[in-house]
Homo-oligomer: A and B are copies of this chain.
Amino acid sequence: MQAWNARLTSMTPGACEISLPMSAAVTQQHGYFHGGVIGTLADAAGGYAANTQLMPVSECLSAEYKINFVAPAIGDMLIARGKVLKAGKTLVVTSAEVFAVHQGKEKLCAIMQQTLFVIPKGSPKVD
């Protein structure tokens, strides 16, 4: 996401916001933000939100997520807001909403629900 110029624009306990400016690298043939980019941003926003409640002792990996695409993502900025819905010892459940900002107005374009798997910080990433 660094290559895309994504930025962490807010991080509070249990929540996280990531913003991504429009660029050729993140759009598809119609000039919309690419679905893969939207999924990646939502996944990351949920994961960072979870990490706010786990770090520095533990961290987490995406076990799975489910995402609905509800409108084309047209605009000059994409914003993903993740929040923790339930933090268990082994699993964390989050949701994220992704908005496209067009002419200063936010429009909801995707909704995600995610399960993360808690691991001790620095452990090998294999189940």
Q: A111-B86, A125-B30 are in contact. Are A68 and B40 (CB under 8 A)?
A: no
- List which A60-95 residues lie within 8 A (CB) of chain B: 61-72, 85-86, 88-91, 93, 95
Tell which of B3, B36, B72 touches A126, judged by Cβ atoms closer than 8 Å: B72
Question: Interface 1/0s, chain A 84-123, versus B by CB < 8 A?
Answer: 0110111101010000000000001001010101000000
B113 touches A111 (CB 8 A): yes
- List which A14-39 residues lie within 8 A (CB) of chain B: 25, 30, 32, 34-37, 39
Copies of this chain per assembly? 4
B40 touches A71 (CB 8 A): no
Chain B CB within 10 A, most for which of A39, A71, A72, A125: A39
A71 touches B36 (CB 8 A): no
User: Given A65-B66, A66-B67, 5 more contacts at CB 8 Å?
Assistant: A34-B40, A63-B63, A63-B91, A68-B86, A70-B127
